[in-house]
Structure 1
Amino acid sequence: MKPVNEMKLVFPSRSANESYARVAVAAFAAQLDPTIEEINDIKTAVSEAVTNCIVHAYRDKIGTIFLTVKLFEEGKISIKIRDSGCGIENVEQAMEPLFTTAGEERAGLGFAVMESFMDKLTVRSKPGKGTTVSMEKRLKARPLRV
């Protein structure tokens, strides 16, 4: 199925850009006329994915985060967040609640949060090459405003 609209953002993995990504995706998703709850779910999932890039993928350096959002006629939103960071050795283990590689100050709930707020979550990663987080959510049926 071909998207009716899409956007791409590229930005450095600085903490300040987490809120930028969240707001940009929310503004773009507004075309689907989401409910407040739906937009909050999307914003939370995007925040978690971008924070993972900042905290885990690039650790103590600045790298590049690639974000793509696609909107579909039936009210589906597809979000892909990709980095070229350190990658994940064991994706299955990383997706377990409370698992973290960032020490005691991190809760290890990022993937669990993303999964709870979105309809579909896929994580692909290659150590030394980076990680791609793909998320989908189908919003309540409303006409698309493009």
Structure 2
Amino acid sequence: MENRMKIEFAAMAQNEAFARSAAAAFVACMDPTIEELTEIKTGVSEAVSNSIIHGYKEDSSGTVELECQIREGGKVVIVVRDHGVGIEDVDKAREPMFTTGRTEERSGMGFTVMESFMDRLEVESRAGEGTTVTMTKQLDLSDGI
């Protein structure tokens, strides 16, 4: 069993809720727990928000791509990609409290939040070319699904 979907939308703040809902609706066929669904929605929200705020500096002329896959055994893979400014130092960006935004407006916890809700987080980026965030979540299929 493998299912997948891919959508692309404008890098606008109001589309973050759309992306979160689209990912949740896609994985709903796996009958996830409320906790699993909330974790997926939160991870997607953080990744999409980072793309919009940091990848495009809130310039809505860019696009964000969201890909979701359901793999054998209940593994969910979510990819959020932008073609924005990229991240010069991914390791530094993954440190808690680090932000490229104004510190009075940003907590610098986006990657930390994603890591805490997902089983695996990978970040690939090149300055001037964009960023790809890949999140993996293993759903509990103990109910026989």
TM-score tier by shorter-chain length is over 0.9
Contact 1:7–1:69 (8 Å) recurs in 2 = yes
Gap runs ≥5 in structure 2: none
Matches within 5 A, 1:56-95: 56-62=54-60, 63-95=62-94
For 1:130, the aligned partner's letter is: G
1: CA distance between counterparts of 2:66 and 2:18? 11
Q: What residue in structure 2 maps to residue 136 of structure 1?
A: 136
Q: CA deviation at 1:15?
A: 0.5
Equivalent-residue separation in structure 2 for 1:12 and 1:110 (angstroms): 20
Q: Give the drift of 1:97.
A: 0.4
- Over the aligned positions, Cα root-mean-square deviation in angstroms equals 1.0
How many residue pairs align between the two structures? 142
Q: Quick check: 2:46–2:111 contact (8 Å CA) kept in 1?
A: yes
SS in structure 2 of the partner of residue 131 of structure 1:
strand
Q: What is the alpha-carbon distance in structure 1 between the residues aligned to residue 84 and residue 49 of structure 2?
A: 13
TM norm structure 1: 0.94
2:42 aligned residue (44, 69, 92): 44
Partner residue, 1:16: 14
In the aligned structure 2, how far is the partner of 1:57 from the partner of 1:109?
Answer: 16
| CA positional deviation for 1:71 | 0.3
8 A Cα contact 1:32 1:143, kept in partner: no
Q: Runs of 5+ in structure 1 lacking a partner?
A: none
**Amino acid aligned to 2:94:** M
The AA in structure 1 aligned to 2:16 is E
Q: Which runs of 4+ in 1 moved over 6 A?
A: none
Q: Provide the rounded CA distance (Å) in 2 between the counterparts of 1:120 and 1:45.
A: 11
- Distance in 2, matches of 1:54 and 1:60, equals 5
Deviations 1:10-42 (A, max 9, x none): 000101100000000000000111000000000
1:83 & 1:118 partners in 2: Cα distance?
20
Local SS of the residue matching 2:101: coil
Structure 2 residue aligned with 1:28 = 26
Compute the TM-score of the two structures, normalised by the length of structure 2. Answer: 0.95
TM-aligned CA deviation for residue 73 of structure 1: 2.5
The structure-2 alpha-carbon separation of the partners of 1:11 and 1:93, relative to structure 1 and needing over 3 Å to count, comes to same
